[in-house]
Every structure is written in structure tokens, then in C-alpha cells.
Structure 1
Amino acid sequence: MVGPKRNSRMPAYDIDSLEPRARARIIKSAVSPRPIAWISTTSPDGVDNLAPFSSYNYVSSDEPVVLFNTPYAEGDDQKDTPRNALETEEFAVNVVTEPLAEAMDTTAASLDSDESEFDFAEVDRAPCERIDPPRVADAVVTMECTLYDSMQIRDRLTIFGDVEYVHVDDAVLTDGQIDAAKFDTVGRLGGPYYTVSELLEFERQF
């Protein structure tokens, strides 16, 4: 059943007429909920970094490649996570579920590069199998990645990761597969808001 017809005189915008902040707010609110990559890296100096990125998705599934976006910057102005990922060519994507939401948000704080968000937010580490950076011990899914490629797109830097190894908690499995009904992932909405995934009462038909 299709909903009521929308007013044909609803507000409309020429993107070029808007300030960058207004454009960004529209896009970030319309493209939602956005999955969150809670990315762990280790700097060349051995400092463990952990930060959330809500511009994140996958571009290949049979041969898994994931990506995340971050503002483009040069040298020391670049954020720790993308700089570490490019310099060491390794990072882990930890999936955020509701019990981890507050800790995830805490790791968005701006810290000096010699400080670890794991320690700042009191997040427990666990070792990875194929890469040096640690994973979030309480994450129900973690994907260990090596750098596939990177690309600058206007004011953003996109980093692609080859998924080399995956950790999955038994608690979210049914018959050996991840069960969406057991997997309360956290998504980002526009502005300061988050949301938690809930199943609708109908299933996909096609």
C-alpha cells in the first residue's frame, strides 16, 4: 500500500545555492541510518587508536572489500585513523551494537596522537589474527583488513580495506550464520542522533 501523495510544492533546493554545512546536513540526514565502522589501528609508534566512522559500507562481498570516508587533510592535519591505515596498511572494523554505543561515542573525542582511545574510553582489547592492531574485545563482529586502495574524492579521503579475517561471536549465530534478529547494530542519523536496528514485521519477498 502506497502512502499519501506528497505536496508537490514541498521545499526543494539547488545544491549549488546552499552553504556546505547545509548540504552536508541534508545528505547525512537523508542517507540514514548509516552503519558505523568502529575502526582500530596501531600507529607506527605503537599507539593503539580507536574511532567511529559513519560514512562506511562495503563495495564487494564475494571477495570482501569495505570502505570508510574521512575528511581529506595533509600530513599532521590528517586524523590518526586514516593516517595509521595508510602508513601501516592495516585496520580492523569493529561492529557497534547497543551495549557498546556509549563507549563508541566516547572514542570520538579528539585526543593527541600519543594517547589511546582504548584507554581513554576503557575499552578492552583483544588480539587480531592477521594484523597488528587490536580489536574491540566485546564487539560481536570484527573484520581484520589490509589496505586495498585509497582515493581522494573532492574534500574526502576514501580508504578501502581487503577483509582478511572475521571474528564472530556465537551469540549472534543461528545454524552457523549471523542472525539479524540477534544483532542490534547501532546506526547514525542526521545531527547528534543514533538509532538501533529493529526488524520489521514483514520479510523480503524478492
Structure 2
Amino acid sequence: MSSIDLAALDPRSRYKLLCAVVIPRPIAWVTTESKSGIVNAAPYSFFNVFGQDPALIVLGLENREGGEPKDTTRNIRDTGEFVVNILTPDLAAPMVETAAPYPADIGEPDTLGLSLAASARVAPPRLAAAPVALECRKMVSLSFSAERELLVGEALHLHARDGLIDEDTLRVEWGDDLPLARLFADRYARLVETDRHTIPDPRTKAGSDAV
């Protein structure tokens, strides 16, 4: 069995190794807006939901070498607002295109022809093609190095495509069109739902064993 001292690896090798073993990861296709009104879109796979009271969203933001913030980080620092768009496999190609290093004065949605839709509670718009969008407000940001920042935000409002959520029960039915997942490097995955497994009640098991 392989045994690797992570602290002995250089940061780039450590990044590649961790991203290759912690899979699949959800993708946050984040839209932000600069102080001058330029809308930015960029994908982040260091992302997840971390609570419900308040509704917490966590993003792992990476700065450029030397600590210069990327557009998403800078815009959130300036405005405190962002939108997490969840994407399905049909949106993989435009999502990857938004990861290219465009200059700060170039908005990816405008350049790539991505339709936007107005948000309800924050200024940055959402991506109209995304089946789910979460409007978020920055709560706290933690800096661990010149290149790595952890952002905790509160999800304020949710948009979903018609038919995805039963508004009476809040049951979500993705069907076969589950969100796209990140593997590593330039590899992605389509998710397939497996058999359902109900968490057992230990009290019931103990009772049956006693009988």
C-alpha cells in the first residue's frame, strides 16, 4: 500500500494528488460583478454546502502566483455578493471556457454569449442556462497562504428550473440529468444514482437481537 508524506511534497504535486483522490467534487460555476458592472463567471470545484442554519456555502478560492486575486475573489471582496450556479453535463464546454484567464475588464458571459438572468437579492446575475442558482452573501473569508483563501457565504435565495423542485414538499428530482462532477486535471464525470440505502435504527436492531 502506498504511503506518502504530504508535507514532503511541493504544493503543486500535493494539489494534483489530492484532487485525484478526492473525487468526484461538485462544481460551483460562480458569477460575480465588479464595481464597474462587469459580470465574471468562473468554475470552482473546491466547493460544497456546509449547513442549513444559516445556509452555508464554502468556496476554496485560489489567487494567482504571488497573491494577486483572481476576478472572482476581488469582486467578492469589493461587493460581498456572488451566485453559485450548478451545471449539468450539457453545460460542460462553456463552463470550461470560462476558466480561461481572461483580463479583468473582459466579462466571460458577454464574451462567450452566455445568457444572464436577474437575481432576486444580490446584484450579480445568475446564468440563465443553469438548472439551479444560489444567491449568496459573504460572511467570512480566511486566508491560509498567499494563494489559498477559504470563503464562507450565506445562501439567501434559490432558483431552480421548472419541474425540478416540488414547492409543496421541497422534494428535488434530478432524474437522469444529475449535475456535472469534477475529477482531476481536465477530466469530469457524469453522475449515476445507485441503489438507495436507509440508515438503520440501532434500537430496532438491538431489540431484534434480544429476541
TM over 0.5: yes
Name the CA shift for 1:194/1:41 in 2 (closer, same or farther; >3 Å): same
Give distance in 2, aligned partners of 1:75 and 1:127. 35
Give distance in 1, aligned partners of 2:2 and 2:175. 37
TM-score by length of structure 2 reads 0.86
| Residue of 18, 29, 46 corresponding to 1:27 | 18
Asked if 1:178 is matched to 2:172, the reply is yes
Partner of 2:149: 157
Structure of greater Rg: 2
TM-score by length of structure 1 reads 0.88
Partner of 1:42: 33
Partner of 1:134: 125
SS at match of 1:119: helix
Give distance in 2, aligned partners of 1:47 and 1:163. 22
Q: Is contact 1:72–1:152 with CA below 8 Å preserved after alignment?
A: no
Once the two structures are superposed, residues 8-45 of structure 1 have per-residue CA deviations (whole angstroms, 9 ceiling, x without a partner) of xx221111322222211111111111111000010001
Partner of 1:193: 187
Name the CA shift for 1:181/1:137 in 2 (closer, same or farther; >3 Å): same
Asked if 1:119 is matched to 2:110, the reply is yes
**Quick one: which amino acid aligns to residue 152 of structure 1?**
S
Q: Is contact 1:68–1:160 with CA below 8 Å preserved after alignment?
A: yes
| Greater CA drift, 10-19 or 24-33 | 10-19
Q: How much has 1:112 moved relative to structure 2?
A: 0.8
Give distance in 1, aligned partners of 2:173 and 2:74. 34
Partner of 1:166: 158
RMSD over aligned CA atoms reads: 1.9
* Unaligned runs of at least 5 residues, structure 2: 200-211
Q: Is contact 1:107–1:120 with CA below 8 Å preserved after alignment?
A: no
Q: How much has 1:70 moved relative to structure 2?
A: 1.5
* Unaligned runs of at least 5 residues, structure 1: 1-9
**Quick one: which amino acid aligns to residue 196 of structure 1?**
R
Which segments of structure 1 move beyond 6 Å, counting only runs of 4 or more?
A: none
